[in-house]
Amino acid sequence: MAQATGSRSGSRRPNLLDRWLRRRTRLDLPLTLAYRRIFILPTRFGWMLGVLMGAMLIGSLNFNNNLGLLTTFLIAATAVNSMLLAFRNLDGLHLRHGKARPVHAGEPVEWRMAAINESARDRTGLQLDSGEAASGFDVPAGTTQEVTVRLPDRHRGWHRPRRMRIQTTQPLGLFRAWSWIEPTSRFLVWPRPASGAPPLPEGGDDRQGLRSQALEEGEDFHSLREWREGDPLHRIAWKASQRHQTLLSRQFRRERSREVFLCLERAPGRDLEERIGIVTAWILRAEQQKRPWILEIGAQRLGPDASERHKHECLRALAEL
């Protein structure tokens, strides 16, 4: 990113600043940035220019150099203006809906938030800084902007983003105005799929692996269709045919799909993490092949199903372990 940001203690211990901030304001989204939430301090460059201005002031005063003084004061007044403008850039900005869609461990989390600029002025050069990464954005007047910050990869499970700040050093880079946000909404990180996972368990005993259900035609009634030459007589739906004044024959579903039975306890792998990784890889593979699967974790049993929703449920269950 373009600029280094202030270091932050990595510990989660609530320090003085944290406690003070929490007492001062609510930090959870949705937020509207306002006077009490916005902090302003000079940037490093701001301090440098301040020192330079101090030197100019003393020199000009000493020699009663009026043009030198005027130059100094012009810069000082510009600095004051730039402070106000930095504040204005944040003041009244609405922040909403902080969330991240689930990813696998090892992939960066894309945490996103909506920034809404209700005012009639553009807001440019804003930055969302999570402490680990930062991303810049602009919000033109009267629009809503999606802001995404990439958080580094995390371990599987539920996480909350750390305290972030939304900041700006507009227009001259002299002052940094910022506001803290600490979203309480959690996001999920799925387990990382094992890279060298064995193929989907086929065959073998019927607990782990394939549940072959080569269904006979005719177990599951499926639907009716017009009778065609060649349909066996016992398939004719007499009652329905009478209702509709035409011969209808019953269609039967043929169970072709073969369910895969995935059991966490019996998956190969030295420890739990490794087994979770392998099962995760299996789930992804099964979903890709559109084969229904059952996941068994201890006493919990999910499926059979091959839908995306099922996949999410399974991955979530694995992540929460």
Partner 1 sequence: MNKPSTARSGAPLAEDLARARATVNEIIVDKGEVIDLAFSALLAGGHLLIEDLPGVGKTTLAQALSLAVGGDWQRIQFTSDMLPADILGVSMFRREGEQFEFRPGPIFANVVLADEINRATPRTQSALLEAMAEGQVTVDGRTHELPRPFFVIATQNPLDLTGTYPLPDSQLDRFLLRTRIGYPSAAEERRLLTEPDRRNLLKDMEPSLDPNRVMELIGLAGELHVSEPVLDYIQALVAATRSHPAVKAGLSPRAALALIQTARAHALVMQQDFCLPDNVRTVFPALAGHRLQPVAESGMDGDAVAAEILESTPVP
Partner 2 sequence: MNRPATHLPLGPVAWTVATFLVAALPHLLAMPPVLGVVVFALCGWRLLVARKRWRLPPGWLRLLLTIAAIGLLAVSYGGLWGRRAATGMLCLMLAAKMMELSRLRDLRMVASVSLFLIASQFLFNERLVLLVYLFGGVLLALAALLRIQQLDVNRRTAPGGDVALLRQSALLLVSALPMALALWVTFPRLAEPLWGLPDEVMDGKTGLSDSMSPGSIANLFLDDSPAFRAEFAGEPPPPSQRYWRGPVLWRFDGDTWERAFLPSRTEAPRVPPGSNDYRYTVQLEPHERRWLFALDHPVRVPQDARLSLDFQLTRRNPITTLTEYSVRSNPDFTDMPRLPVTLRQLAVSLPEDRNPRTREMALELRERFEDDRALIDHVLDWLRTEPFYYSLETAPLGRHGADEFLFDLRTGYCEYYASAFAVMMRAADIPARVVTGYQGGFWQEGGQYLLVRNSDAHAWVEVWLEGSGWTRVDPTAAVSPARIRSGAGSVAGGGEGLEWLRALRNRYDRLQHLWNSWVLGFDADRQQRMMNFFGLPNLSRTGMALLMAGVLGLIVLALAWAWLRQPARSRDPVRRAWLRLARRMQRRGLGPGLGETPLAWAERVAHRLADGARFLELARDYCAIRYGDRGNEADRQRFIRAARRFPVRRAVEPRRAASV
For partner 1, which residue of 25, 30, 78, 173 counts as binding (CB under 8 A)?
A: 30
Judged by CB, which is closer to partner 1: 53, or 284?
284
Query: How many amino acids of this chain bind partner 2 (CB under 8 A)?
Result: 61
Q: Which of 178, 2, 175 is nearest to 85 (CA)?
A: 175
Q: Identify the three-state secondary structure at position 150.
A: strand
Residues sharing a CB contact under 8 Å with residue 191, sequence separation 6 or more, in sequence order: 104, 105, 156, 273, 276, 277, 280, 315, 318, 319
Contact status: 34 vs partner 2 (CB under 8 A):
yes
143's tokens: 């629009």
Binding piece for partner 2, criterion CB under 8 A, among 14-22, 88-96, 105-113, 150-158: 88-96
Residue with tokens 């068994």: 296
CB of 163: closest distance to partner 2 in angstroms? 18
CB of 180: closest distance to partner 2 in angstroms? 15
For partner 1, which residue of 224, 247, 284, 302 counts as binding (CB under 8 A)?
A: 224
Cα separation values, 169 from 3, 7, 10, 97, 133, Å: 11, 17, 24, 24, 17
CB of 49: closest distance to partner 2 in angstroms? 5
Contact status: 28 vs partner 1 (CB under 8 A):
no
Length of the chain: 321
d(CA 235, CA 230): 10
Judged by CB, which is closer to partner 2: 76, or 133?
76
CB of 96: closest distance to partner 1 in angstroms? 5
For partner 2, which residue of 40, 104, 112, 119 counts as binding (CB under 8 A)?
A: 119
Q: Which of 134, 126, 104 is nearest to 6 (CA)?
A: 134
Contact status: 284 vs partner 2 (CB under 8 A):
no
Sign of CA dihedral 228, 230, 231, 234: positive
Binding site for partner 2 (CB under 8 A): 2-3, 25-26, 30, 32, 34, 36, 44-45, 48-49, 52, 55-56, 58-78, 80-82, 84-85, 87-88, 91-92, 94, 96, 116, 118-121, 124-125, 127, 136, 169-173
